[in-house]
Amino acid sequence: MADRKQTKQQLLAEVATLRHHLAALQTARIEAERIVETVREPLLVLTADLHIISANAAFYHTFHVTPEETEHQLLYELGTGQWDIPALRRLLEEVLPTDAPVRDFEVRHTFPTIGQKVMLLNARRIPHDGSAPRILLAIEDITERWRAARLLQQRSEWFTVTLTSIGDAVIATDTQAVVTFMNPEAERLTGWPSQEALGRDITEVLILCSEETRQVVENPVLRVLRTGIVAGLGNHTLLLSRDGREIPIADSGAPIRGTDGTLHGVVMVFRDITERAVLEGNLLRAKDAAEAANRAKSEFLATMSHELRTPLSVIIGYTELMLEGTFGAVTAGESRILQRVRENAVELLDLITAMLDVSRLEAGRLPVHVQEEWLPALIEEVKTETQEVWERTQLALVIQAADSFPPLYTDPAKLKVVLKNLLRNAVKFTPQGSITVQWQSWEGGVAIQVTDTGIGIPADALTLIFEPFRQVETEGRGTQHGTGLGLYITKRLVELLGGTVEVESAVGKGSTFRVWVPVGSAPT
């Protein structure tokens, strides 16, 4: 009796323990199920012959399918058969017999509803009721990660191709000044092959010194790391290559920063400027030589002109005296010859004077003497001084003056040369008709116009005539004496006075030269 009672109590105790275990098991199962439901990774539980027993919410959500379409189906027959991948099938079939888990098997597939997905599959055997083991298949969606990695790879390929093909040398370092990248041009200049340079300190690979002192200068990478700002080398920096070459370079180093501003390293870009340095040197020497030659030419011309003018003036003077009969009567024949001597000598003198002006102008040695001038008086002087020119022509000279006129502050001698040149040209190129001189106030200055009814200038020659030694050569212009320097000097003188000169012309009708000079201000 006592035994039976004891046995019953024992049984009751065991039942209680069992119940307790059962309850614990149930709780554990519910918890496990909850966990399975909560994980964001799609999970499938499969039988040994790969029938789907269950799937979690993440699976349905990710692949846009329902439990009805999924449960009890054969994995390979799911949907449009997208899981029917021979390699996966082989792997899964091995999971149960060998107990070898499938790890990170990458599957790329385009699903009709959700498009292309890249997934990592992991599978392992889970013990189940002893007899029929199951397979847990976890599917990790790595599409985004895969895309980002691909983009990163494309970018890095793009950078590598770009940096490899550009002509500039590029070296990058990390924040410890350790070389992390070098392009072929940097390899060529430094003499360090990339494989050897990577991992070394920048000061070992890129040694720079000053061209003048030959002292090693602070490496710009260190400066950028120290200051965090873009740094360039001073001028005249030499790179000392590993094989002993000295290469003049120009460069700049810039910090590499992340989007949050943290420093990741430094990139140095530099280039070999040997050719540029040689060219600059040559150019400088050529410029000095040209300037010296130009100075010598101007000085020579000035001296020569001066020396030539004196004897010419003597020739002209004596010829005129002979023409006037000072040394006895001259016959008509002799007079003609003397006149030709005089004309040619005067022309030569004009040419020499013009040359002298040009050389002074070009040497910048023509000082401007500003004084107060009343334009009508100046024009009157010009008229008187060109009297002999008028006397030889039948041309009418018309002078049209503005009514009132403010005084002008300018260099009258130069303005007179300008006006005389224009008048002489007008007379020279006008067989008949008239020449009109007009002036008026115009935009803070005075505009003086010389208009003729002459042969005119073709449009394509309008700018050329202001260049030295340029004369218009067209039929019917006859042979006019001249140097081709008159308008060049005119333009340069007007510019010296702060003014402008322009021309309008019609062939066969005549030309108008318009000079504008500023009113100026009284000299202090």
Q: What is the DSSP letter of 328?
A: S
Whole-number minimum distance, CB 470 to ligand ADP, in Å? 6
Beta carbon nearer to ligand ADP, 85 or 472: 472
Judge residue 409's burial from the number of C-beta atoms within 10 Å of its C-beta, 0-12 exposed, 13-18 middle, 19 or more buried: middle
Binding string to ligand ADP for residues 70 to 109, with x set by CB under 6 A, is what?
A: ----------------------------------------
Tell me: does residue 353 bind ligand ADP (CB under 6 A): no
Beta carbon nearer to ligand ADP, 378 or 487: 487
Crossing angle of helices 274-323 and 332-362, in 10° steps, is 150
Of 308, 295, 289, 292, nearest to 352 (Cα)?
A: 308
Binding string to ligand ADP for residues 474 to 503, with x set by CB under 6 A, is what?
A: --------xxxxxxx---------------
Tell me: does residue 265 bind ligand ADP (CB under 6 A): no
Question: What is the torsion angle, in degrees rounded to the nearest 10, for the CA atoms of residue 403, residue 408, residue 413 and residue 419?
Answer: -40
Whole-number minimum distance, CB 272 to ligand ADP, in Å? 50
| Tally: H helices and E strands in the chain | 15, 19
The kind and range of the H/E element at 3 are: helix 2-38
Whole-number minimum distance, CB 489 to ligand ADP, in Å? 8
Tell me: does residue 453 bind ligand ADP (CB under 6 A): no
Crossing angle of helices 412-428 and 375-385, in 10° steps, is 50
Do the strands 169-174 and 263-272 form a parallel or antiparallel pair, or are they unpaired? antiparallel
Binding string to ligand ADP for residues 416 to 435, with x set by CB under 6 A, is what?
A: ---------xx--x------
Residue in 203, 393, 471, 500 binding ligand ADP, rule: CB under 6 A: 471
Whole-number minimum distance, CB 491 to ligand ADP, in Å? 9
Whole-number minimum distance, CB 325 to ligand ADP, in Å? 32
Degrees to nearest 5, angle at CA 162 with 157 and 163: 100
Residue in 46, 465, 493, 517 binding ligand ADP, rule: CB under 6 A: 465
Tell me: does residue 472 bind ligand ADP (CB under 6 A): yes
Of 205, 147, 502, 520, nearest to 368 (Cα)?
A: 520
Whole-number minimum distance, CB 503 to ligand ADP, in Å? 8
Full DSSP string of 373-418: E-HHHHHHHHHHHTHHHHHTS--EEEEE--S----EEE-HHHHHHH
Give the total of residues touching ligand ADP (CB under 6 A): 20
Single-letter code of the amino acid located at 491: K
Whole-number minimum distance, CB 399 to ligand ADP, in Å? 17
Tell me: does residue 358 bind ligand ADP (CB under 6 A): no
* Structure-token pair, residue 73: 């189906």
Whole-number minimum distance, CB 484 to ligand ADP, in Å? 4
Chain residues in the site for ligand ADP (CB under 6 A): 425-426, 429, 452, 454-457, 465, 470-472, 482-488, 511
